[in-house]
Amino acid sequence: MNAPREAVIRMYAAREEIYPRETGGRYATLRWACVWLTQLLFYGLPWIQLNGRQAVLFDLASRKFYLFGIVFWPQDFIYLAALLIVCAYGLFLVTAVAGRVWCGFACPQTVYTEIFLWIERRIEGPRSSRIRLDRQPWTLEKLARKGAKHAAWGVVALWTGFSFVGYFTPVRTLGGEVAALALGPWEAFWVLFYGFATYGNAGWLREQVCKYMCPYARFQSAMFDQDTLIVTYDAGRGEPRNARRKLAGAGDCIDCSMCVQVCPTGIDIRQGLQYECIGCAACVDACNGVMDKVGKPRGLIRYATETALAQRLGPAGIRRRVLRPRVLVYTVVLGALVAAMATSIALRNPLKLDVIRDRGSMGREVDDGMIENVYRLQLMNTSEAPHKLRISVAGIPSAEVAGDDVVEIGPASTRAVPVRVRIGPGAGHPGSNRIAFTVTGLANPDLHVSEEAAFIVPK
């Protein structure tokens, strides 16, 4: 008797290789402008020097972040939190207005995939050649082309990993270590790790990152409404399709499949909005090219909103509906957050002061019956300039700093200063008295910071 056959249930579909066709047009130009802009920034920023050090450096070892002359310390973590909130609101706002425009034009996954695809096309040829090459058996030519492609990808990936680590270790030092083959183990690990992630994501995984791994793709539909810009196929104008261009009364779509061939996620936008669509508008460029050739108006596939399609609104009608409550709320919150953050950074006092009383010595009587307490002042200079500072004390009549009251502190540094404070006989009451230390810039009296402390008078 034959054993019953087990049903096989596949939990996910095997990936089908996608060979996006190269396309030109307004949106392709815009995407390449984004590639150049983002990569010039990413690769170039670590090489800019300011005040004798890297202008943008996240120095984890000394727990200082340098950002164009502003130094952030661990105490400034609030700014990082605020920056993340600003980025989140910025993304909400952009998504509510223009859908997945970030995904299609500026997301690192899109940008690096675009770069890797460009290399692939230069080495393996256009779409049809790439398909043929993949299907043919291994030959010397295939080996050479594939080897050259992966070598070029590897160079870009390693340079990306190197640039990434250059934000955390001074990039010039890092470059010297690479040249001398003396890279530290952690730096080597992160260069390879980030490089490998770039190579894997942009070279192999590509659209699968957007489809299966990106959390933003999952929740952004919650920010869409019927007035959000999406890439849409105008079915009212395109259907019924006119493949042979002979049907009387048929639509403008000639069923050439160019929109599918250029799509980096391999979908057919004519089937309606799909979660795989990253809004890159490659299909818009491709279809516009086809419409030009067949002498029809452009825009069969275009950026539009559901409302615009239903009510046949043009660009002016779409613009009129942009300012809706959701967009206004995001804009107001974002504007307020940015203004609050900028004001807080602009007004930030570069001096910080902590006072620690020397618990080893209680108040003691010194010369002429004066009472002395000893403190340790922890000074922090968060600016990129050195400062000469005067230490003064108030709160008890006759209170003064004994000894030298002027200290110097270097740029972006901390310094511990032992300070003795004396008061005259009879000043203050037995027990604990409140005093306040003030540290003032000698060259700039507006630069000052105060901190309270206790002065102990023996009973």
Q: Which residues bind ligand SF4 (CB under 6 A)?
A: 231, 233, 238, 253-259, 262-265, 267, 269-270, 277-283, 286-287, 290, 300-301
For residue 20, give the amino acid letter: P
Closest to ligand SF4 by CB, 286 vs 421, is 286
Angstrom distance (rounded) from CA 20 to CA 202 = 13
Angle among Cα 151, 154, 157 to the nearest 5 degrees reads: 155
Q: Provide the minimum distance between the beta carbon of 273 and ligand SF4 in the complex, in angstroms, as a whole number.
A: 9
Q: Provide the minimum distance between the beta carbon of 320 and ligand SF4 in the complex, in angstroms, as a whole number.
A: 24
Asked whether the beta carbons of 263 and 282 are under 8 A apart, the reply is: yes
Three-state DSSP string of 385-454: CCEEEEEEEECCCCCEEECCCEEEECCCEEEEEEEEEEECCCCCCCEEEEEEEEEEECCCCCCEEEEEEE
Q: For the chain, what is the largest distance between any 2 Cα atoms, rounded to a whole number of angstroms? A: 114
Closest to ligand SF4 by CB, 300 vs 435, is 300
Q: Provide the minimum distance between the beta carbon of 173 and ligand SF4 in the complex, in angstroms, as a whole number.
A: 41
- List CB contacts of 24: < 8 A, sequence separation 6 or more: 285, 289
Closest to ligand SF4 by CB, 259 vs 327, is 259
Asked whether the beta carbons of 193 and 165 are under 8 A apart, the reply is: no
Closest to ligand SF4 by CB, 20 vs 46, is 20
Closest to ligand SF4 by CB, 65 vs 105, is 105
Q: Provide the minimum distance between the beta carbon of 216 and ligand SF4 in the complex, in angstroms, as a whole number.
A: 15
Q: Provide the minimum distance between the beta carbon of 114 and ligand SF4 in the complex, in angstroms, as a whole number.
A: 12
Closest to ligand SF4 by CB, 278 vs 377, is 278
Angstrom distance (rounded) from CA 55 to CA 48 = 6
Q: Provide the minimum distance between the beta carbon of 253 and ligand SF4 in the complex, in angstroms, as a whole number.
A: 3
Count of CA atoms in the C-beta half-sphere (13 A) of 331: 9
- List CB contacts of 115: < 8 A, sequence separation 6 or more: 35, 39, 156, 202
Does an H or E element contain 456, and which?
A: strand 448-457
Closest to ligand SF4 by CB, 292 vs 358, is 292
- List CB contacts of 357: < 8 A, sequence separation 6 or more: 373, 374, 375, 453, 454, 456
Q: Could you give the dihedral angle defined by the CA atoms of residues 367, 368, 370 and 376, in that order, rounded to the nearest 10 degrees?
A: -20
Q: Provide the minimum distance between the beta carbon of 109 and ligand SF4 in the complex, in angstroms, as a whole number.
A: 12
Closest to ligand SF4 by CB, 269 vs 327, is 269
Q: Provide the minimum distance between the beta carbon of 94 and ligand SF4 in the complex, in angstroms, as a whole number.
A: 16
Closest to ligand SF4 by CB, 101 vs 447, is 101
Closest to ligand SF4 by CB, 158 vs 263, is 263
Whole-Å CA distances, 228 to 106, 137, 285: 18, 47, 20
Does an H or E element contain 156, and which?
A: helix 140-165
Angstrom distance (rounded) from CA 397 to CA 247 = 102
- List CB contacts of 409: < 8 A, sequence separation 6 or more: 379, 381, 386, 387, 389, 415
